[in-house]
Amino acid sequence: MSTHPKQIALEGVLRKLFDDLDHYLEDTFHERYPLHPNRPARGKAASVAYDGLFSTGTQFTLGYGSKHGRGYIVSVEIRTLSRVKDEDKQEIEEAAMTYLRSRIKTYFPDRAIELKQDGNVYKLVGDFSLGSSSNA
């Protein structure tokens, strides 16, 4: 089963948005904690998701049991062996979510997409439709 070209394009835009977020977090918080010893320094891997202190991305969920339904769960991970202080986790999470909210319209200007807290996770929800099959 192959993935629809419009789905590939949509997920490519999501990846660019989260690469942007990764750069923002690296620029803002990179000196807070030492990098995990098995992780390459920033700019040394093929993707920003695989180097530096942060790893960001999304995972699609059908949203069963969620008040917001289907969407993309937001992942922001700090790649260090050090214990991350709760207040730092909260500050980084708030900065990441504020930044994402400020950039969604830039990456998805023609879609109604919002960032919502859904229980203990954040999720991008809204118009992720691929259009009609006649536009394929």
> Which of 102, 115, 96 shows the shortest CA–CA distance to 25?
96
Structural domain range at position 126: 5-130
Q: Specify the pLDDT at position 3.
A: 79
> How far, in Å, CA of 120 to CA of 136, rounded?
37
If one counts the domains in the chain, the total is 1
pTM of the predicted model as reported, rounded to 2 decimal places: 0.89
DSSP 120: T
> Over the stretch 65-117, which tens digit does the pLDDT of each residue have?
888 989 999 999 999 999 999 999 999 999 999 999 999 999 999 999 999 99
> Over the stretch 30-63, which tens digit does the pLDDT of each residue have?
999 999 999 999 989 888 888 999 999 999 999 8
Position 130 confidence tier, pLDDT thresholds 50, 70, 90: confident
> Which of 14, 7, 23, 114 shows the shortest CA–CA distance to 59?
14
Whether pLDDT at 132 is above 80: no
CA distances from 22 to 27, 46, 66, 80, 90 (A): 9, 14, 27, 15, 16
Q: Specify the pLDDT at position 136.
A: 43
Position 131 confidence tier, pLDDT thresholds 50, 70, 90: confident
Under 8 Å between Cβ of 115 and 104: yes
DSSP string covering 1-63: -PPPHHHHHHHHHHHHHHHHHHHHHHHHHTTSSPPPTTSPPTT-SSSGGGSSSEEEEEEEE--
Whether pLDDT at 133 is above 60: no
Is 97 a member of any domain? Answer: yes
Q: Specify the pLDDT at position 1.
A: 63
Is 33 a member of any domain? Answer: yes
Is 136 a member of any domain? Answer: no
